[in-house]
Structure 1
Amino acid sequence: MRSFFFRCAFALVASLPLAALSATAADAYPSKPIKILVGYSAGGAVDAIARSVGQRMAATLGQPVIVENKPGAGTNIAVKALIASPPDGYTLLLAANALAVNPSLFQPVPYDLERDLTPVSLVGRVPVVLAVREGSEIKTLAQLSAATKAKPGTISVATPGNGSTPHLAMELFQHTAGLSWRHVPYKGGAQALTDVLGGHVDVVAVNALEALPLVKGGKLRVLAVMSPERSAVLPGVPTVAESGYPGFESSVWYGFVAPAGLPKPILAKVHEAVQKALESSEVRDQLAAAGGVALPGAPELFGKLVKDDAARYGKLIREANIKPD
């Protein structure tokens, strides 16, 4: 009995320094620069949002926030770099929909969403749009649907690539509307838009950020936005739901994740810094300029969004037999 009590007492004492160390680390956080990983090249939408939000986070946390671009493998390189990092709050990832898509799109499965990651905060959402060149005979989504049904498989739709969010949004709409398009994948949205403007492809599915300059220049006409509500920068364009497909929506979202095992006190500090950043006019204006909206909220809400999207797009990927480029 005496031995039993001795072992219990020893275990309790041995655990105290670890608990104290954990509490001290949380109290001292942050004591050095914080890194935001981005799985896309510099100059893109995710990179720009990471830098804007990071700048505001730095003001709140009192430490520099540095953006590090790690493009490649459909963002899997950046995600794996995050997972390999210590769960101490000094390495974060600004992710987009690919985070939820890739476990179903790639084989072998590159990571486990629940086991390997900690959701921190949703940042915002930008709608996917369906658009045609200004001179196209197709003027509305209803006309596009009618033309497709008259000659199934003849209407071509460009996307930024197999497994991209616009591609999956396009596939999801096809399933919803009972249509059959000919998919033309590209290595990014710029070339897809170029070929639609040149008349080589009929329609393009792309995020609103990439389409806006061409819309403002009178070269591209947006038939519908796939967000739940109309875009503030495209107020005259109906949603897909308004165009005869109630309940349909598909958007590009952005959100912060950290490695699994991030201590709750540090998670709370990072989350608070992101929420304050989303309150700033600079961040909100940047998202609005891209046709998007800021979406602050609890880590649990972002975690549910990722989980729900993983299930929704995973089902679509299996049924449509979608493969990565």
Structure 2
Amino acid sequence: MKTLACGAFAAILACGAAHAQQDFPNRHVTLVVGYAAGGAIDQSARLVGQALAAQWGQSVIVENRAGANGTIAAAAVANARPDGYTLLVTATSHTLNKFVVKGLRYDVEKSFAPIALTVDVPNVLVVNAASPYQNVGQLVAALRAKQKSFSYASQGVGGIPHLAGEIFKLRTGTDMLHVPYKGAAPGMTDLVGGVVDMSFPSPGSITAFVTAGKLRPLAVTSSQRFPHLKDVPTFAEAGVADFTIGTWHGVLAPAGTPPAIVAKINADINAIIQTPEFRDALAKQGNVAAQPVTPAQFAAKLAGELKAFEAVAAKIDLSAN
């Protein structure tokens, strides 16, 4: 009798869990963003959130928990209930943090269930529009002349803009001070204000400033020119070889989230990022939608990045300086 009772209880629990998954979502979902409001990651997260809310008929709240290069938000989501109602919107720096942030309160791989990619773009070397440097060659020449000290902004230690700045220094044999911020937006504000000399953000962080004539893009970190910046050369075209790096935005869930819920969110996001409305909205932000991937493909991408970043981090100083 006891065995039968236990079996019946287990069946009830299983049925309840299955129903909860089929009914997902039946209340509001929170997208936790590890960067300041107004930056490229925040902008794309809000587009995804709006589209999911319309599709699900439930509120999708975007919660900004900026700081520590996204690790504050990641730690919060890693410790959240694995039911699909608390998700992390993050970027390439998520994997890089394993090698640059000491004492992480989570495991970059094991604490999360990858769901979907939303954005995939190169980074851009940008200077103040009032800067005397019209191209990469002029900037590199000034850096090598060392007539003044130079600095570059990033959205935080260990982020892709930080990595891009350090690779730029290696490729050009130059030096400059790294100035980390708690997100892309405040860094761009200081670049416009002349506090720092340059930055290597994703296109979404600079579109409004470039359109307003406040920032000047000099080169993109991709093998081909970026569609939204057709007049801007690649670094190879600008005379700096072997300099390709990019930024993705994506959605992760806490580890242990039911596969059925992960699959549903993946399918819904993949449907959204292929719509003309979403692609057009991203384009206005200077971003490009990622190609749809499965959760397994996203996980494989993250695993590959971890191996690549481990090799790079061994050669480049990614600590605060």
Q: Considering the TM-score relative to the shorter chain, is it more than 0.5?
A: yes
Amino acid at match of 2:303: K
Query: Which residue of 288, 312, 315 corresponds with 1:319?
Result: 315
CA contact (8 A) 2:95 2:302 kept: yes
Change (3 A) 1:222 1:191: same
TM-score normalized with structure 2 length: 0.85
Distance 1:28 1:159, change over 3 A: same
1:270 matches 2:268: no
Of 60, 74, 84, 2:79 maps to 84
Q: Is the 8 A contact 2:39 2:204 kept in 1?
A: no
Name the CA distance, whole Å, in 2 between partners of 1:153 and 1:112.
44
Is the deviation greater in 71-80 or in 150-159?
150-159
Kindly state the Cα deviation for residue 218 of structure 1 after the two structures are TM-superposed: 3.2
C-alpha distance in 1, partners of 2:123/2:304? 18
Deviation at 1:238, TM superposition (A): 1.1
- Tell me the secondary structure at the aligned position of residue 177 of structure 2: strand
**Structure 2 counterpart of 1:185, one-letter code:** V
What residue is the counterpart of 2:49 in the other structure?
54
Shift of 1:152: 6.8
* Distance change (3 Å), C-alpha of 1:291 and 1:48: closer
SS in structure 2 at match of 1:131 = strand
| Rg comparison, structure with higher value | 1
Q: Which range moved further: 254-263 or 181-190? A: 181-190
Any idea what SS the aligned residue of 2:82 has? coil
The separation in 1 between residues aligned to 2:56 and 2:273, in whole angstroms, is 14
Q: Deviations over 1:88-114 (max 9, x none)?
A: 111111112231122222111332122
The Cα shift of 1:256 comes to: 0.3
For 1:19-63, what per-residue CA distance to the aligned partner results, in whole angstroms no more than 9, with x for missing partners?
333322222222222111112233333222222111211222232
Give the distance between the partners of 2:89 and 2:241, measured in 1 at CA: 31
Residue 218 of structure 2 is aligned to residue 213 of structure 1: no
Quick one: distance in 2 between partners of 1:25 and 1:231? 43
Report the equivalent of 2:305.
309
SS at match of 2:96: helix
Structure 1 counterpart of 2:44, one-letter code: I
How far apart are the structure 2 equivalents of 1:219 and 1:90? 39
Cα 1:58–1:211, aligned 2, differ >3 Å: closer, same or farther? closer
User: How many angstroms apart in 2 are the aligned matches of 1:41 and 1:87?
Assistant: 25
C-alpha deviation, 1:230, in angstroms: 2.0
| Deviation of 1:123 (Å) | 0.4
Secondary structure of 1:35's counterpart equals strand
Cα deviation, residue 220, structure 1: 2.9
TM-aligned CA distance change 1:115 to 1:153, over 3 Å: farther
Q: Residues 280 and 108 (structure 1 numbering): CA distance in 2 closer, same or farther, change over 3 Å?
A: same
Supply the distance in 1 between the matched residues of 2:191 and 2:67 (Cα, whole angstroms): 26
1:152/1:179 contact within 8 Å kept: no
RMSD of Structure 2 on Structure 1 (CA): 3.0
SS of corresponding position for 1:119: strand
Separation in 1, partners of 2:65, 2:190: 28
> How far does residue 258 in structure 1 lie from its aligned partner after superposition?
0.2
Residues 138 and 72 from structure 1, CA distance in 2 versus in 1: closer, same or farther, beyond 3 angstroms? Answer: closer
Question: Which structure 2 residue ranges, 5 or more long, are not aligned?
Answer: none
Once the two structures are TM-superposed, the CA of residue 158 in structure 1 deviates from its matched residue by 1.1
Q: Which residue of 2 aligns with 1:183?
A: 177
State how many pairs are aligned.
318
Say if 2:38 and 2:185, in contact at 8 Å, map to a contact too: no
| In 2, Cα distance between equivalents of 1:36 and 1:199 | 33
Q: CA deviation at 1:195?
A: 5.7
1:39 aligned onto 2:34: yes
What amino acid sits opposite 1:183 in the alignment?
A: L
Cα distance, 1:265 vs. partner? 1.2
Q: Counterpart of 1:101?
A: 96
User: Given the superposition, is the C-alpha separation of residues 237 and 9 from structure 1 closer, same or farther in structure 2, using an over 3 Å criterion?
Assistant: same
Instruction: Give the C-alpha shift of residue 274 in structure 1.
Output: 0.7
Equivalent-residue separation in structure 2 for 1:112 and 1:96 (angstroms): 16
1:278-317 mapped onto 2 (5 Å cutoff):
278-295=273-290, 296-317=292-313
1:159 matched to 2:153? The reply is yes
